[in-house]
Structure 1
């Protein structure tokens, strides 16, 4: 099978052929991927195996791989108190035809199905135990120590990135300096959590980030459903009431309202209203 995904450019794995890549993964991990379970996303492909595990394959450009390496899922295996699928092993290689790396991580199966897509349009049925497990995992994660730096959307998060993102959309007289950095998943949305049993997966971008990034990200993923967005803010109240949490609210709103905003995105108006409220609170000190 001919591959056309080895160029040094961003590609969409939902439409590009990946047969040879999956064949290599099977040989290297000595496993068979079940064809009818394959899930294709823009940057990754996943599938169930014949030994009841899950393999996630990602393609990443070399200039998107930082000095800390590209082993987030592997490093997350040591996190205590965080509900996640156990990591089993991996295979990593450089593409022979371009500045591209491939990585396949094998983990145990998820305990349930993903709650939804990255942005949900209806309220999922989540028991109180689910929210308790979410809170316990996020609190346990924030209490860890790591030298990793989070890479949301594959971009290393820095004070400069936070300031530029916020200022690019919300000019105003308020300080954008982050006071507290803690470990974060950095890609927390409804496609990366399971129910009815809570589990958090896709750890490739985790690392230190401003306090409140995960809570704000899940809230942004919920904005099309006001009741769900409200529940997230209620459950993670301490994050949202903190100064850093307010900055992270603006940070995620800047992505919704920024230059790539979609005019029909149902999150536009609630994000705009919340941003105005948060800016007033920051300006008031």
Structure 2
């Protein structure tokens, strides 16, 4: 098998390329202390998910050096191009069928069964992490306890989905997470385009209007508004306004 150099795509943690047998190989390097106890095989484990539109997994090779582990996964080619970058500045043209496919896949994912725990940004998501992240930005008096944990992609953004044919890829971080994490993450990736953010809220309202969905909205807002957020991020103001509204709904009484 040979990788085709003119098809190489570099992302934050990975590099991928088309092969001479019309498949895709994605290579990731991860520091050894960033590999969780559950292992580092999200793409492989996602192969058993039912009802979720994704490229079929074929095989993998894993190796290590002194500081890090390397993993190369071979999958089928994507059915279409990625929608765009992780955070969009203009609304893509997405037909209703695309939104229906998104909803069907996310709803199907949420009813799967797994012992995996999601690792967004390679960090295992826990109740303590949710509380710490939310409290680091929002000090209002409300309970941050998560009630329901369900399987989530855990890196849902516009760079990890295709259009006009819907498919969801890059499954290395998936696992159980608070209900609404994926919906809130996609909403946050859309905030620079108000109409798109509103469409996401409409399509995923069952998640985002739940108590856990509101907590996840604050969780993703904390990433935008917290100390690692960029001061010129156009999403800051809509994130702040939404957070204020959500907090009012979470306050006791």
TM-score (normalised: structure 1): 0.88
- Show the counterpart of 2:47: 77
**In structure 1, the residue corresponding to 2:158 is in which secondary structure?**
coil
* CA apart distance, 1:228: 0.2
Q: 1-side partners of 2:189 and 2:54: how far apart?
A: 20
Q: 2-side partners of 1:60 and 1:255: how far apart?
A: 22
Q: 1-side partners of 2:174 and 2:15: how far apart?
A: 19
Residue 48 of structure 1, aligned match among 11, 15, 18: 18
Residue 186 of structure 1, aligned match among 145, 149, 154: 154
Runs (4 or more) in structure 1 with deviation over 6 Å come to none
Q: 2-side partners of 1:99 and 1:69: how far apart?
A: 17
* CA apart distance, 1:275: 0.4
> Unaligned regions of 5+ residues in structure 2, if any?
none
- Show the counterpart of 1:245: 213
> Unaligned regions of 5+ residues in structure 1, if any?
1-30
Matched, 1:260 2:215: no
Per-residue deviation, residues 146-195 of structure 1 (Å, max 9, x unmatched): 00000000000000000000000001100000000000000000000000
Residue 31 of structure 2, aligned match among 41, 61, 77: 61
- Show the counterpart of 2:135: 167
Greater CA radius of gyration, 1 or 2? 1
* CA apart distance, 1:42: 2.5
Q: 1-side partners of 2:91 and 2:9: how far apart?
A: 24
**In structure 2, the residue corresponding to 1:271 is in which secondary structure?**
helix
- Show the counterpart of 1:272: 240
- Show the counterpart of 1:106: 74
**In structure 2, the residue corresponding to 1:265 is in which secondary structure?**
coil
**In structure 2, the residue corresponding to 1:259 is in which secondary structure?**
coil
TM-score (normalised: structure 2): 0.99
Task: Indicate the RMSD between aligned Cα atoms, in angstroms.
Answer: 0.7
Matched, 1:207 2:175: yes
Q: 1-side partners of 2:154 and 2:27: how far apart?
A: 19
Q: 2-side partners of 1:272 and 1:231: how far apart?
A: 19
